Chains A and B, each alone.
Chain A
């Protein structure tokens, strides 16, 4: 209701002044708290739409959205498509395999072609960090980064913030522990930026080999090329979990073991698996999150994944509302 919303900050009429000037959403590194709140508030309205008997509104009627995925995806691609359809937009899905990419067409030529056929919004996932930035420089369309290499996955960060806010309210001062393969995780990076902007206290926890160079204990052998905000770093999970409001578990990619970063899955699970005993160190009722897909029994125990504290499925369903919010703001914002 209007009053509650007004109670949170400035009167509604003043809040409406907050600008939305973005054409693209490439990462959360340059998002202000106010901008993030615009997205999350808009997502509240979208969630209401999704709860209707016929979850469809005409806000993006006549707009065409293209998903261009150079990497595998289930939930991200599906939730962008559902989000676009709920807003009345048309959707074209393109996977790199099966498209002219296989004939050797360059990334820039591919996206220019998509623009020429009339797309207004481009959702791109690419294995190379920075690819969506290159694309954004060459097109008039709005570009949304749906994951680029290790670098960023901003809509995942936003849906995680949305999920946390819906349970905890104001995130200022909340202790959010991100456990797992931080070094290779675009989800971790986008969450670190977003959580920092929202004033949360971020703790990352991983074996030293799975921390970004800049965060490893001791002198850094190489400068971390992508600067991240300063966060608390723990290599001991029990210490990290102490007093946590949120425990965000990341997937351990098996290829990390092949690359010699870990001795064995069993050893990783013994030291870093979030199980019920360890979770007891967090605040009672602390939220358990995971961006999926999960390896149950490796980074998270099945009991924790299915516990009452787990909001993992909620993250997926919130993903649709948050992506609707981002699409709406970009499509209507110009």
Chain B
């Protein structure tokens, strides 16, 4: 599968469905806190909170988690230097934390996010919501809510573009031929994913 795999409408529907699933699974929104993983998990988490407001009339707080200080997988040059503060709006002790990311791939950034979250307290539970699950897990991690499963080859890149960060809503799968990965192309293709996604 190559090209645009999710349109703006598809993304809107997927987020709205995930929002309903979160409400259903948690039997309401009591103690639910959304924590978006920087960068693109944060706007997705905000959209979920918007959906909760719309469907349930309830305000759910949204935090932003930066895992730059916890990850061990991505070589620094590809991660980029920018790390940002983690901002949790509320104490997460005893809360049902829904961790939100754009793409789930190896699972290593989720592992880092779990380490980071646990440094802030002891949630009652941590659930995982992702817009895209592209497979190729390297750790025993599974998502609780998935916008779309997109089977990919290892060499491909999955780019989630969002209005808030990229000016438009779209999920694109691009083939990346290793022979064409000159250092420059490589750094450009990685820039999209620096700090947040696993591609």
Q: Interface size for chain B: under 10, 10 to 19, 20 to 34, or 35 or more residues? A: 20 to 34
Please determine whether A15 and B82 come into contact, CB atoms closer than 8 angstroms: yes
Partner of A17, one of B38, B39, B43, B80: B80
Please determine whether B81 and A44 come into contact, CB atoms closer than 8 angstroms: no
- Nearest A residue (CB) for B71: A59
Name which of B20-28, B132-140, B144-152, B190-198 contacts chain A.
Answer: B190-198
Q: Answer yes or no: A57 CB below 8 A from chain B CBs.
A: yes
- Nearest A residue (CB) for B192: A13
Residue of B39, B42, B68, B81 most packed against chain A (CB within 10 A): B81
Please measure, in the bound complex, the distance between the C-alpha atom of A15 and the C-alpha atom of B195, giving whole angstroms. Answer: 11
Please determine whether A2 and B115 come into contact, CB atoms closer than 8 angstroms: no
With both chains docked as a complex, state the minimum distance between the C-beta of B9 and any C-beta of chain A, in angstroms.
Answer: 23
With both chains docked as a complex, state the minimum distance between the C-beta of A26 and any C-beta of chain B, in angstroms.
Answer: 19
Please determine whether A2 and B76 come into contact, CB atoms closer than 8 angstroms: no
Name which of A47-55, A154-162, A229-237, A310-318 contacts chain B.
Answer: A47-55
Please determine whether A57 and B81 come into contact, CB atoms closer than 8 angstroms: no
Given A13-B192, A57-B119, check contact A44 B164 (CB 8 Å): no
Q: Which of B56-77 contact A (CB under 8 A)?
A: 64, 66, 68-70, 76-77
Q: Mark A5-30, 1 if CB is under 8 A from B, else 0.
A: 11000011111111110000000000
Partner of A16, one of B66, B82, B85, B116: B82
- Nearest B residue (CB) for A88: B69
Q: Which of B70-95 contact A (CB under 8 A)?
A: 70, 76-77, 79-87
Please determine whether A59 and B69 come into contact, CB atoms closer than 8 angstroms: yes
Please determine whether A20 and B120 come into contact, CB atoms closer than 8 angstroms: no
Partner of A5, one of B70, B84, B115: B84
Given A3-B164, A12-B165, A13-B165, check contact A332 B84 (CB 8 Å): no
Given A16-B194, A57-B69, A58-B70, check contact A2 B166 (CB 8 Å): no
Taking CB atoms, residues of chain B closer than 8 Å to A332 are 76, 79, 81
Please determine whether B69 and A45 come into contact, CB atoms closer than 8 angstroms: yes
Q: Mark B169-199, 1 if CB is under 8 A from A, else 0.
A: 0000000000000000001000110110000
Please determine whether A38 and B70 come into contact, CB atoms closer than 8 angstroms: no
Please determine whether B119 and A54 come into contact, CB atoms closer than 8 angstroms: yes
Q: Answer yes or no: A103 CB below 8 A from chain B CBs.
A: no
Please measure, in the bound complex, the distance between the C-alpha atom of A333 and the C-alpha atom of B78, giving whole angstroms. Answer: 10
Q: Answer yes or no: A329 CB below 8 A from chain B CBs.
A: yes
Taking CB atoms, residues of chain A closer than 8 Å to B70 are 57-59
Please determine whether B76 and A13 come into contact, CB atoms closer than 8 angstroms: no
Please determine whether B76 and A333 come into contact, CB atoms closer than 8 angstroms: yes
With both chains docked as a complex, state the minimum distance between the C-beta of A269 and any C-beta of chain B, in angstroms.
Answer: 42
Please determine whether A41 and B166 come into contact, CB atoms closer than 8 angstroms: no
With both chains docked as a complex, state the minimum distance between the C-beta of A240 and any C-beta of chain B, in angstroms.
Answer: 36
Partner of A2, one of B42, B68, B116, B120: B42
Partner of A11, one of B42, B76, B119, B165: B165
| 5 extra A-B contacts, CB within 8 A, seeds A2-B164, A328-B83 | A12-B165, A13-B192, A13-B194, A17-B80, A59-B70
Can you name 21 A-B residue pairings with CB atoms under 8 Å?
A2-B38, A2-B39, A2-B64, A2-B164, A5-B84, A12-B82, A12-B165, A13-B165, A13-B192, A16-B195, A17-B80, A18-B80, A18-B82, A45-B84, A48-B85, A49-B69, A57-B69, A57-B119, A58-B115, A328-B69, A334-B76
